[in-house]
Amino acid sequence: MSRLSSTDTPTEEEAAPEVDTARNELVARFTAHLGEGLLESHVDPGVDVWLRVSRESWLEAAEFAKSGLGFGYFSFLSGIDWMPSPFGRDMDSSIDVALGNDERSEIDQTIQHGVAGGTGRFQVFARLNDVVNGLGITLKVDLGDDLTVDSWVAVYPGANWHEREAAEMYGFSFTGHPGLRPLYLPSEFEGHPLRKDYPLLARQMKPWPGIVDVEKMPGDDDEGDDS
């Protein structure tokens, strides 16, 4: 029979799972307020908390975060396309080619979502902070086939440009936004460049260099020249 030494015995601190009371309380309060509108949550103790809410609860979640929980600082809002790129290794950098990593294998089209899960291809996510208590939350919402969700501008005015960017780059629509006009691209531009199935033609014509070519400085050619 083997015996554990004193160094092998787990301490009480090591044996007990870490508990993040503050962030768990946030999840509990969102659950109580949104009910079934809170679809999934994830707490990384001492680090962060993620909350995925229903489309119907997206605006309500923002209002509750700001007015009910003190998350007055809006950090950012953006979108994500979870679909794997259909172009495979076609757009890899030249360094990948040099290393022999440019095989165009079959691409697994299985969508894998991040923490707090998800359904479908597209999500909108936003970051809020409680600067008084030093806490942050990331809120997520699935868009499904309907790429429309309520605007947050009435709650967080700073979301204005962020929603315009997401509309332009992903094709999302934000109900109640005061003006989803183009932010970066010309009004006649076709397509949404941050979707995974948008072809980057410039990179297809000329592969991404990967490593920047550094031009010689004046006089470098004369090094080692004894004449």
Q: What is the DSSP code string of 109-138? A: ------TT---SSEEEEEEEEETTTTEEEE
Question: Does residue 105 carry a pLDDT above 50?
Answer: no
Task: Find the range with the poorest average confidence among 140-144, 192-196, 204-208.
Answer: 204-208
Query: What integer pLDDT is reported at residue 206 of this predicted model?
Result: 55
Percentage with pLDDT > 70 across the chain: 70
Is the Cβ–Cβ distance between 34 and 53 less than 8 Å?
yes
Query: Which 8-state DSSP code applies to residue 44?
Result: E
Q: Could you tell me which of 29, 96, 121 has the C-alpha nearest to residue 67?
A: 29
Domains (range + CATH), the chain: 18-208 (3.30.460.80)
Q: How many Cβ atoms are within 10 Å of 42's Cβ, its own excluded?
A: 17
- Residues with Cβ within 8 Å of 172's Cβ and at least 6 positions away in sequence, in order, are 79, 122, 124, 143, 147, 148, 149, 163, 166
* CB-facing half-sphere around the CA of 152: CA atoms within 13 A: 34
**Higher pLDDT pick, 109 / 3:** 109
Radius of gyration of the chain measured on its C-alpha atoms: 24
- Residues with Cβ within 8 Å of 11's Cβ and at least 6 positions away in sequence, in order, are none
What is d(CA 170, CA 192) in angstroms, rounded to the nearest whole number? 5
pTM: 0.76
